[in-house]
Amino acid sequence: MVDSCRECDPCRKGEEQYCLKGNTDTYAAFDRYGQYTQGGYSTHIVVTEDFVVRIPDGMELDVAAPLL
């Protein structure tokens, strides 16, 4: 998920996955600007920092992947 309306009750509670207007998924979705999301197949991605999870330095990606 890379975005939500951030205005409805679920969004204000930090439960953006239940956004009443519909969240923007990472893969094969259209964002609020009409752009198509390509997720992990992208070479670059721009998201709001609220939708980013930092993987600690030294943690291998194969260990971190199940956490997401």
Provide the whole-model pTM: 0.65
Q: Which residue has the tokens 């409805």?
A: 8
Q: How far is CA 64 from CA 10, 17, 45, 47, 59, in A?
A: 27, 21, 19, 20, 7
Residue 39 domain flag: yes
Residue 62 lies in a domain: yes
Q: 32 lies in a domain?
A: yes
Instruction: Count structural domains, the chain.
Output: 1
What is the residue range of 61's domain?
9-67
Is the residue at 2 inside a domain?
A: no
| pLDDT at res. 64 | 86
| 68 pLDDT higher than 70 | no
Residue 32's pLDDT is 83
Res 40 pLDDT > 70: no
For residue 1, being part of any structural domain is answered with no
